[in-house]
């Protein structure tokens, strides 16, 4: 926009305001209200962005529910491995899987892939 165009715009804006019968102050107040109304509709938190914000919230709630389930499973596993009263089944499972420990009367059968 050139300088001529901006001067022309300001002149037209003044003419519109004076045509309505208001002063400069009222014109600036009207411009401010129009700007706030435009931001309320098309701004980053306006009506047009509302549905996008709702879909993001739904996605994050789904992620949160998955994380809560994982946390609860880990809490349960930690409780079962408490040194004061460890669950014998959990201890046996960990010994077999991580340290390759078996009972003397067990037979290990390896399956070929």
Q: Are 17 and 27 in contact (CB under 8 A)?
A: yes
How far, in Å, CA of 29 to CA of 32, rounded?
5
pLDDT at 26: 78
Tokens of 109: 């059968």
- Determine the pLDDT at residue 74: 95
| DSSP track, the chain | --HHHHHHHHHHHHHHHHHHT--HHHHHHHHHHHHHHHHHHHSTTSTTTHHHHHHHHHHHHHHHHHHHHHHHHHHHHHHHT-TTS--HHHHHHHHHHHH----TT----PPP-
Q: What is the pLDDT along the chain (113 residues), one digit of tens a residue?
A: 445 566 676 677 667 766 665 677 877 888 888 888 888 888 888 888 888 889 999 999 999 999 999 999 999 988 888 888 888 888 888 888 888 777 788 787 788 87
Kindly report the pTM of this predicted structure. 0.49
Q: Rounded to the nearest 5 degrees, what angle is found at the Cα of 73, between the Cα atoms of 67 and 78?
A: 125
Q: 99: buried, middle or exposed (CB in 10 Å: 19+, 13-18, 0-12)? A: exposed
Q: What is the pLDDT of residue 17?
A: 64
């Amino acid at each position: 926009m050139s300088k001529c165009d901006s001067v022309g715009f300001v002149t037209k804006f003044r003419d519109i305001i004076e045509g309505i019968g208001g002063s400069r102050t009222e014109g600036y107040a009207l411009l401010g209200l129009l700007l706030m109304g435009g931001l309320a509709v098309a701004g980053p938190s306006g009506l047009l962005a509302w549905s996008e914000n709702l879909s993001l919230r739904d996605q994050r709630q789904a992620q949160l529910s998955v994380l809560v389930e994982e946390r609860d499973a880990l809490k349960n596993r930690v409780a079962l491995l408490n040194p004061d009263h460890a669950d014998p089944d959990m201890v046996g499972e960990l010994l077999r899987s991580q340290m390759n420990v078996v009972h003397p009367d067990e037979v290990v059968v390896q399956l070929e892939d």
